[in-house]
Amino acid sequence: MTAKEVRNKTVVLAGGGHAHALLLHNLIRNPLEGVQLAMISPVRYAPYSGMLPGVIAGQYPPEALHIDLVELCRLAVCDFIHGRAVRLDADHSVLSTDTGRGYRYDWLSINTGSLPRSPPVLGQLGQDTTVIGVKPVQPFLAWLDDLEVQLPPLPSFSLGVLGLGLAGVEVALALEQRFCQRFSGVTIHLIGAGTLLSKQPTAAQQAVREHLSIRGIRLYENFQASVVSGGLQNDRGKTVFLNASVLCTSARPDDWLKGSGLKQDQNGFVLVDDALRSISHPSVIATGDMATLSQQVHPKSGVYAVRHAATLETNLRRLLKGESPIAYQPQHHSLTLLNMADGRAVGALGNIAVRGRWVWYWKNWLDQRFMKQFPRGYTR
């Protein structure tokens, strides 16, 4: 392929997730010469999920968590388009946004992230029932700020966290640190359909279980929850009465890919080959939570989204030159670092688990090192 042919190519980045942020960071030093590059995002400030529990707990200010996509795009010579992707016509290579405009592309990369799955709702919900997802992050942080103002005059407040995975545990501990240390009437309830940290080693489960008990967080396992007026109810009729519930449940995609023509898994994520390309439309690439590898499924987590970035960059360069892409090689084991929100953390790799203040310093060092790559900012 000639330089002139490459120059006529348009690459559209849908979403400002971790993989796209890392791609743009690398393009600052080593740009895609002659390619028209554009990012479409509904927000200017993209959150880094690894530091969210620390922001909730007050260990970091909100701006420490957020990447300034507008400034990052400027540095990478990438057009920033403020808008939400609402429709994809993969057969005709057109991505449409909520502004009513459609954008044609030669290559589209999807890194829009995921949302927590909502539980079923039983009956009519009253105004006393609040259910909010931990994502999108900015509305959730704004809700926490508002709640903090409302709490002082209240004699009691029951706050539930739905989800027994890493996200649910970290958010529950962070909420306890933020609210229970200052407002005596606040109680935290951690609720889920399975068992606590079922995918983590036994030592990590035991350490967290002990810590939840010490911190007064009430744990409900094997609780298949539905939302009812005033709280959550399981399939046996037991109700946990709550003033508000925070969703940290399994990942689901936004609805904008429905009717796109892309082949998807049973949950609506894009099925991709080992080069992260759509198995039905090879000009579409998906990374992060939006991608499901058809041959080697791995968890939906920020760890894998970060690892996708290197393969995404390499393959964009190769595909633009008419070369064959390389295969993504997921790691067999990923390091887990769980913020306990009190200056300590639990680390797990394979069947090994450690805990202590030094583990938190290690996690903090890794998170800060990651975020130092990007311009940061935040406005409510």
Domain boundary assignment for the chain:
3-42+83-114+253-320, 117-250
Half-sphere exposure in the Cβ direction for 341 (13 Å, CA): 27
Report residue 302 as tokens.
Answer: 């920020």
CATH architecture of 117-250: 3-Layer(bba) Sandwich (3.50)
Q: What is the pLDDT of residue 326?
A: 95
* pLDDT by residue, tens only, the chain of 380 residues: 444 444 579 999 999 999 999 999 999 999 998 899 999 999 999 999 999 999 999 999 999 999 999 999 999 999 999 999 999 999 999 999 999 999 999 999 999 999 999 999 988 777 778 999 999 999 999 999 999 999 999 999 999 999 999 999 999 999 999 999 899 999 999 999 999 999 999 999 999 999 999 999 999 999 999 999 999 999 999 999 999 999 999 999 989 999 999 999 999 999 999 999 999 999 999 999 999 998 776 665 656 667 899 999 999 999 999 999 999 988 777 889 999 999 999 999 888 999 999 999 999 999 999 999 999 998 87
CA distance 149 to 152: 7
Residue 113: left (phi > 0), alpha (psi -120 to 50), or beta?
Answer: left
String of DSSP letters for 330-365? --SS--EEEE-SSS-EEEEETTEEEEEHHHHHHHHH
C-alpha closest to that of 312 among 114, 111, 178: 111
Report residue 319 as tokens.
Answer: 């595909």
Q: What are phi and psi of 358, to 5 degrees?
A: -65, -30
Q: What are phi and psi of 251, to 5 degrees?
A: -75, 145
CA distance 30 to 8: 19
Question: Sign of the CA dihedral 256, 259, 262, 267?
Answer: positive
Which of 32-36's residues contact partners 24+ apart within 8 Å by CB, and which partners? Answer: 32/316, 32/317, 32/320, 33/3, 33/6, 34/3, 34/6, 34/7, 35/6, 35/7, 35/9, 35/10, 35/11, 35/320, 36/9, 36/10, 36/11, 36/79
Report residue 62 as tokens.
Answer: 């909100």
Q: Which CATH superfamily is domain 3-42+83-114+253-320 in?
A: FAD/NAD(P)-binding domain (3.50.50.60)
CA distance 91 to 351: 45
DSSP percent split of the chain into helix, strand, coil, nearest 5: 30, 25, 40
C-alpha closest to that of 249 among 265, 272, 271, 227: 227
3-state secondary structure of 49: helix
Q: What is the pLDDT of residue 3?
A: 42
How many other C-beta atoms lie within 10 A of the C-beta of residue 213?
11
CA distance 132 to 84: 20
- The answer to whether 149 and 143 are in contact (CB under 8 A) is no
C-alpha closest to that of 110 among 277, 275, 294, 222: 277
Intrachain domains 3-42+83-114+253-320 and 117-250 with the same fold: yes
147, amino acid identity? L
C-alpha closest to that of 65 among 12, 116, 136, 132: 136
String of DSSP letters for 82-96? E--EEEEETTTTEEE
281, amino acid identity? H
String of DSSP letters for 266-316? TTSPEEE-TTSBBSS-TTEEE-GGGEEESSS----SHHHHHHHHHHHHHHH
C-alpha closest to that of 12 among 107, 112, 113: 107
Q: What is the pLDDT of residue 299?
A: 61
